[in-house]
Amino acid sequence: MKAKAIRINRTGGPEVMEYVDVEVGDPGPGEARVRQHAIGLNFIDVYFRTGLYPMPLPAGLGQEGAGVVEAVGEGVTHVKPGDRVAYAGRPNGAYSELRVMPADILLKLPDAIGFETAAAMMLQGLTVQYLFNRTYKIKSGETILFHAAAGGVGLIACQWARAVGVNLIGTVGSKEKAELAKAHGAAHVINYNTEDIVQRVMEITNGEKVPVVYDSVGKDTFTRSLDCLRPLGLMVSFGNSSGAVPPFSLSELASRGSLYITRPSLAHYAARREDLEAMAADLFDMVASGKVKIEVNQKFPLADAAKAHIALESRQTTGSTILLP
């Protein structure tokens, strides 16, 4: 059967995305066909579109969605036709009305969580879940630094930190975004376009600095993030919205106090089904209990995916963004 989808034949700007008819077949062994009701937009989609993250072309885009299972292939038992499901993860191809995909990343949605919320929260929410529980276990009373605090991952992180009693210092690029991050639980906010991040972190922590920095901005903030860490602190470099971090010397870690560094990816933390289910249960609980509210601040028709990319890349968005088939 035919479905509308976004395809790219080459990497480049938003204009390389084409809204086309694709043929969707029956699911093979281990696969499911999902009728999508909402699709999540994530910065990783930009990295694949520009070629920062290479992939074979032509290709689809998108790693997150929510909808209803239409059919399952041989060996699939954890979901069945009619189930409401959501997912985050590879392969790319979520920007589509209908898709055949690996069933092992599908999770049944609790009744309390709607499709739009689910599509907006799976990738960003599972990311905050592992960053705060496994990459570095944040503890009540601690003060941490989290960049891009008014973004999709950021607003979830602000609320999650507040819920567990952690003082999150959030960085943002404008006054409006500062207010938004504060309203969502950031204990302190730094505008990195107008303020000195390191000096402000020193003031807020009485010169002690922080035990962990979560940095998804990359190139523009990397060195300053290292400067905000106390000895033996952990640098979590988990994204590159401003560009990839250039190579650096390990002695940079020694001179700042035997620092640690990690470059984590959700794909590895969620690779085992039992881990994925436990992470999702924690996220669903945070959302269903109201501790974390998913802010879907932008919605675009799937056909306008290019406009959505332009908004995300030009820092016009806050919270999460979804595409509607």
Residues making contact with ligand NDP (CB under 6 A): 42-44, 123-124, 127, 148, 150-154, 172-173, 177, 216-217, 220, 238-242, 264-266, 312-313, 315, 317
Task: Name the residue nearer to ligand NDP (CB basis): 124 or 205.
Answer: 124
Nearer to ligand NDP, 71 or 242 (CB): 242
- What's the CA gap between 85 and 82, in Å, rounded? 9
Q: For the chain, where are the alpha helices, taking DSSP H only?
A: 43-50, 115-130, 152-163, 175-183, 197-204, 222-227, 251-255, 266-269, 273-288, 305-313
Please give the residue whose beta carbon sits closest to ligand NDP in the complex.
151
What are the distances in angstroms from CA 172 to CA 141, 177, 203?
22, 6, 18
- Quote the least distance from Cβ 204 to ligand NDP, whole Å: 18
Choice between 264 and 325, CB closer to ligand NDP: 264
Those residues whose C-beta lies under 8 Å from the C-beta of residue 35, and which sit 6 or more positions away, are 67, 68, 70, 97, 98
Residue 323's contacts (CB-CB under 8 Å, 6 or more residues apart) are 38, 39, 40, 41, 62, 95, 299, 300, 301, 302, 304, 305, 308
Whose Cβ is closer to ligand NDP: residue 27's or residue 154's?
154
Give the residue with the Cβ less far from ligand NDP, 87 or 238.
238
CB of 163 to ligand NDP, least distance (A): 19
